[in-house]
Amino acid sequence: MPGKGAETKNNKEDGETKPKPCCVCLPEKDERDQCILFNGQDSDKCEDVIQKYKTCMKTYGFDI
């Protein structure tokens, strides 16, 4: 049964250590969270900061 252990094993086999998603793009994540907190999740005001966060995450190999 594939699970988190299988994903970790695959990352180690590649010889590449991928950072955890919680540990990257912290300023962008904070800005995104603050915008959503004060403007609501469906607010168009946050589109730019959300996109900036997604772009940052993609640079680390996370496709969200």
Binding site, annotated residues for Cu cation: 22-23
Q: How many CB atoms lie within 10 A of CB 32?
A: 20
The first and second tokens of residue 61, run together, are: 């190999």
Alpha-carbon gap, residue 7 to 62, rounded angstroms: 13
Instruction: Point out the annotated binding site.
Output: 22-23
